[in-house]
Structure 1
Amino acid sequence: MRALGGRGSRRARRVAVADRVIAGRAIVAGNAEGDALVTSDALSFWGGYDFHTGEIIDRRHPLAGVRAAGRILAVPFSKGSSSTTAVLVEAVRAGTAPAAILTTGVDAFFALASIVADVMYGKPFPVIALEPVDFASLRSGEQLRIELSGVIRRI
C-alpha cells in the first residue's frame, strides 16, 4: 500500500477500499463489463485462441474449449511472441475478442493489440495490470465492471 500523495512505483497499487473494489493500473484505459474468465496459466494466442469463434483451443490449457469472446479474461501474462497481437486484433475485427484483459503486469503484446485495434477498427479493449494478490482473488463467473481509471468493481 502507498500513502496518498506519496511517491511510489508505477506498478498497480493495492487499495483497501472494499472487498468489491480492486485498484488496477490501466495500461490501456477503457470501460468494460462482463463475467470473468480466470486462469493462473499463461496463454499462447497463436495456436491457442481461435479468433473466428473466441474459443481457447490450446488442448493443454486448463480453459481449453471455453469461449473468451465478450468476457473479461484474466490471464497472468501472454505466452509466445508478437503473434499474440495479430490474433487479438483479428479477434477484435471478428467480434470475438475478450471484452478486457487483466494481467499481473504490463504485457506489451496485449497493450499493442488494443492500441492497434483502436487505430484500425476504433475498438480498443481495456488492459489492466493488477497486483498478484488482487489477481489471485478473481474468480471465473463473477461479474466485473472496469472503469477508465483501472478500478475494477465486482457487481
Structure 2
Amino acid sequence: MNAAVLNEQQTIVIRGRKVVGGVAEGEALVTRDRISGWGGIDPRTGTVVETRHELRGQSFAGKVLVFPGAKGSSGWSAMFHMTRLMNSAPAAFLFNEMTTKMALGAVVTHAPSMTDFERDPLECIETGDWVRVDADRGVVEITKKKQEGAE
C-alpha cells in the first residue's frame, strides 16, 4: 500500500435515535465506564473527578462524550445542567443505555444526544477521533484520527 492511501482519513457513519436534537461536532472523549454526575464531575471545568474512573482528570468540555450512560443519583442531571451554565458541557452525548437520569441530563444540557445505535459507538469511536453528531437526522459521522507512523 502506498503512503497516499495510508494518509487518507477513514470515515465511519453510524445511525441511531435522537434524544435531544441539534448538530454538533468535536473531538471524541470515550470511556467504557459510566459517569457519575453528583461527586463524579467538576461542573466548573467539565472534568471527571471520580476517584477510580478511567477519565479522572480529563475534561469533556466541548467534546463529544461517548460512554455507556449515567450512574448514581438523581443529582446527575443537575450537575450536567451546571456544566451548561458554566460553559463546560460536552458538545454532544453518545450513549448506549437510556435511563431517566441520562434523558433528563441530556435535555437540561441542551447538547445533541443520541442512543440506540445500529453499531456500538464504543466499538468504533476512539478518543481523539473527530465526530459530527446530527441528532436530527440520526447520523453520526466519525473521522478516524490519523495513525502515527502510518507512512
Return 5+ residue gaps in structure 1 as ranges: 1-17, 118-123
Larger mean Cα displacement after TM superposition, 19-28 or 63-72:
19-28
User: What stretches of structure 2 of length at least 5 have no aligned partner?
Assistant: 1-9, 144-151
Shift of 1:132: 5.8
Bigger strand fraction: 2
2:12 corresponds to 1:26: no
Mapped to 2, the partners of 1:103 and 1:55 lie a distance apart of 18
1:153 aligned to 2:145? no
Structure 2: distance between partners of 1:151 and 1:38: 18
Q: Taking structure 1 as the reference length, what is the TM-score of the superposition? A: 0.78
- The superposition leaves residues 96-142 of structure 1 with CA deviations (integer Å, 9 ceiling, x where unpaired) of 0111111113232232123234xxxxxx1112113563432110100
Tell me the alpha carbon deviations over residues 50-92 of structure 1, each in whole angstroms, 9 at most, x when there is no partner. Answer: 0011111112000000011110001101111211100000110
Q: What is residue 82 of structure 1 aligned with on the other side?
A: 74
Residue 27 of structure 1 deviates from its aligned partner by: 1.3
| 1:100 paired to 2:88 | no
Looking at structure 1, the residues matched to 119 and 76 of structure 2 have their Cα atoms a distance apart, in angstroms, of: 22
Number of equivalenced pairs:
132
For 1:42 and 1:132, how far apart are their aligned partners in 2?
Answer: 19
TM-score scaled by structure 2? 0.80
1:3 corresponding residue in structure 2: none
Aligned partner of 1:42 in structure 2 is: 34
